[in-house]
Every structure is written in C-alpha cells, then in structure tokens.
Amino acid sequence: MNECTLPSSLPEEVEQALLRCGGIEGFLRDLPKDHELLKRSALYRALADPIRLKILAMLRDQPLCVCIMKSILGIADSKLSYHLNVLKKAGLIEGGKRGSWIIYSITEAGREFV
C-alpha cells in the first residue's frame, strides 16, 4: 500500500527511535489515515483567514444577520457571502431564514475554535 524504501544509513538516535515503535511497519501503522488528514486540513483551511475568524468570534455569543456582520466588517456583500459560505461548507456555522433576513449561528464544531 504505502511502499517506501528507507535510506541505507540513518542517524543513530533515529534508528533507535524507529525500533522502539515497532520498526517502520509499526511507525506507518500509527500514522493517521489519508482521508483523516484531508478532513483535518480542510477544516484548518476554512479557519485560515482573519475575516472568517472574526465572523466566528462575532457569532460566539449570539446569532447575527448578514447585514450586521457586513456593517461591522465593512466589506462588500458578495465578499461576506463568500466567506460565510466557506465557513458553512466546513460545518462551522449554519444559517436560516427569518423573514427577509438570513441569520447565522455558530455550530458546536465552530465553537471549538473561538
């Protein structure tokens, strides 16, 4: 599955450490699986923007409508919409209609990062 040829010689301490965790096989076995790494990196990517972190912070204590977030952030509608969508896709916030407004709130998952 994960074919890998080791270098012919290694630093002493690294060699030792590898033996201690069951050789290279044991070492590979304990690494997180690729789909897990992809999932986590996608989550971090959603968090990797100051505007989005600020949105999460704003939603910490109460849900808010887009228009308030817009006036506080001072950015264009479409830009805000883009970032809200990134956060929503990542499962960090969720939004629902309320009359002609759309109100976003933070999810459990999102709350871990405020």
Partner DNA sequence: TCTTAAATTCAAAGTATTATGAAATGTCAT
Partner DNA sequence: ATGACATTTCATAATACTTTGAATTTAAGA
Interface residues with a second copy (CB under 8 A)? 2-7, 10-11, 13-14, 17-18, 20-21, 24, 27-28, 31-32, 34, 37-38, 40-42, 44-45, 47-50, 52-54, 57-58, 61-65, 67-68, 71-72, 74, 98-99, 101, 103
Structure token pair of residue 24: 């290279």
Q: Which of residues 91-110 bind DNA (CB under 7 A)?
A: 95, 97, 99-103
Cα separation values, 90 from 6, 9, 16, 26, 28, Å: 37, 43, 41, 33, 29
2 vs 78 by CB, closer to DNA: 78
Interacting partner of 47 out of DNA, a second copy, none (Cβ under 5 to 8 A depending on kind): a second copy
Contacts with DNA by CB under 7 A lie at: 7-9, 45, 48-49, 51, 65-67, 70, 75-86, 95, 97, 99-103
